[in-house]
Structure 1
């Protein structure tokens, strides 16, 4: 029973750290976590546990670990002097499996300064009517983009491109790709 309670408390601590550090919840404080999860633990021991778990989460997040990497990392942490216990390892693994995607998105959003592309939809249409008869039955690419950040309202951009304009864009994108490839080979 004590193991189940300690696992539950550790899971709560990890979730609390994620809430305050990655999800931006200001209501979750270190004091709240201590009083709710570890009321019997002396403040200095709780602080050490909190800092250790925060450091482990930070290491896992910064490396964006997959299942094999986290298993190897936590095994090394259990063997390390002052590391984690064998009982804590599966709790941390479960936490990461449940929160990996959401924490990753949060870290990306926190590091973004400008608007980003939120969605992109495209289709090819054939014109059935036009002022100019030579444009009838010609194809056009319709591109719809949603641009913005998570906190602000999005802006929508709709482009209609004929075959010639589409080829120009594809050529420019190919040039950008070649430039990026050349830059990455230099380094």
Structure 2
């Protein structure tokens, strides 16, 4: 029973660290975690455990470890003097498996300064009727973009290109691509 209780408390501690450090939940703090998860543990022992787990989570997050990397990292931590137990290693591995994507997205969102392209849709329209016969069967490329930050209202941009403008844009994009390729080969 004590092992299941320890696993549950450690899992709660890791989730609390993720909530406060990566998900922006300011209500979760060290005192709350101590009171709720480890009420019988002396304060200095809890702080040592909290700091150790926070350091491990920080290492795992900063390296964005995959399954093989975390297994090797946690194995090394279990063999290190003053490291973690095999049971703690299993809890940390499960925590990372469940939270990796969400923590990674949170880290990316916190490092973005500008708006991003949220969605891009395109289609080709062909006029089938017009007052003027020379406009019938003219194709137009329509590009619709949603641009914005996650916490702000998005802006929508709709562009329409005829064949000549589309070819001109593609030519300019090719020139940009060639310039970037030349710059990266020089460096």
TM-score scaled by length of structure 2: 0.92
Matched, 1:50 2:72: no
Counterpart-to-counterpart distance in 1, 2:135 and 2:84: 70
**Equivalent-residue separation in structure 1 for 2:86 and 2:8 (angstroms):** 15
Could you say which residue in structure 1 is the equivalent of 2:41? 41
Q: Deviations over 1:130-151 (max 9, x none)?
A: 4653332122211111111111
Deviations 1:2-53 (A, max 9, x none): 1111111111111111111111111111110110011111111111111111
In structure 2, how many angstroms separate the alpha carbons of the residues matched to 1:54 and 1:186?
42
SS at match of 1:19: helix
Matched, 1:60 2:60: yes
Q: Does 1:124 align with 2:124?
A: yes
RMSD of equivalent CA atoms: 1.6
Are 2:76 and 1:76 equivalent residues in the alignment? yes
**What residue number does 2:153 align with?**
153
Offset from partner CA, 1:109-159 (integer Å, 9 cap, x none): 100011111111112221224465333212221111111111111111111
Question: 1:10 maps to which residue?
Answer: 10
Q: Indicate the structure (1 or 2) with the bigger Cα radius of gyration.
A: 2
Partner residue in 1 for 2:88: 88
Task: State the aligned residue count.
Answer: 187
Q: CA deviation at 1:186?
A: 4.0
Residue aligning to 1:163: 163
Q: What residue ranges of structure 2 are gaps of 5+ in the alignment?
A: none
Q: What secondary structure, in the 3-state scheme, does the structure 2 residue paired with 1:87 have?
A: helix
Indicate how the Cα distance of structure 1 residues 3 and 171 shifts in structure 2: closer, same or farther if over 3 A, else same.
farther
